[in-house]
Amino acid sequence: MSDNTSHVGFGELPLDERLTIAREGTSWFARHLAGISDGDLDEPSSLPGWSRKHLVAHVGYNAAALTNLVTWASTGVETPMYPSAQQRNTEIEEGATLSAAALRNLFDHTAARLDEGWRHLAADRWDFPVRTIQGRTVAASETAWMRTREVWIHTVDLGSGATFDGFGEPILVSLFDDVLGAWRRQSAGGRLRLVVDDGAPTDVDPAFDGARSQVIGTLAAVVGWMCGRSTDGIANPDDVPPPRWL
């Protein structure tokens, strides 16, 4: 959405507003989680191969991993998100075998610890460089966006009725940019032309010289489709699947 200046992205908001959006996402996830019975936590989530329990464990451990980055920024002592990618996956598999009560606790406790870390991080430490599990070096303030992405999208993945229509515009604008950037880096989806409402179309590969495939909808619908979550409200005449982005 970078070509459309009327839209404000997440990264353009002041830090306190970014943290508020992350916290609102945690609350949204918590409300949906509270509405799912213990028994229904064993049912599949919308993510292939993952039960809702896998998802809750993952979102909980994600908060713990981001808390590590905040600690890293605070102390200056290298504290990776996870000891290894393997460890991260093992943790989720084992987490999914916990009782419903233990998982609800894990979610609450890890979210509270992350919030506490954010509240105590000194103003001059938010720019401190930390490294993500993907090996990217980012400022500690990026944890606000990393958490926002996780909790908002994974609330939809709980499969209890949440949709991208519930996202605020800054989240949608920044997700649009994230996915578009990932596709461009991977040279994926070059023939796609994304058309949001009546706005200017965005060509994934502006240099592509063939017949383009249009994907048309509201910003929420297009972003939900780009994230591989939903085809609701989308016109996609060539029936193109969205390329992977993560």
Q: Rule CB under 5 A: which residues touch Zn ion?
A: 150
CB of 2 or CB of 89, closer to Zn ion: 89
CB of 164 to Zn ion, least distance (A): 16
Q: Which residue type is seen at 153?
A: I
Give the closest residue to 222 by CA, choosing from 181, 165, 183.
Answer: 165
- Residue nearest to Zn ion as judged by C-beta position: 150
Distance CA 4, CA 30 (A): 33
29 or 128, CB closer to Zn ion? 29
Q: How far is the CB of 166 from Zn ion (least distance, A)?
A: 18
Cα separation, 232 vs 63, in Å, equals 30
Between 60 and 170, CB nearer to Zn ion: 60
| Contacting residues for 74 by C-beta, under 8 A, at least 6 apart | 117, 120, 121, 122, 125
**Nearest-angstrom CA–CA distance, 164 and 155:** 9
Residue with Cβ nearer Zn ion (94 or 238): 94
Least separation in angstroms between CB 154 and Zn ion: 6
Residue 237 CB, shortest distance to Zn ion, in Å, is: 31
Report the sign of the C-alpha dihedral through residues 75, 78, 81, 82, in that order. negative
What whole-number distance in Å separates Cα of residue 180 and Cα of residue 226?
Answer: 8
Distance in Å, CB of 62 to Zn ion, minimum: 6
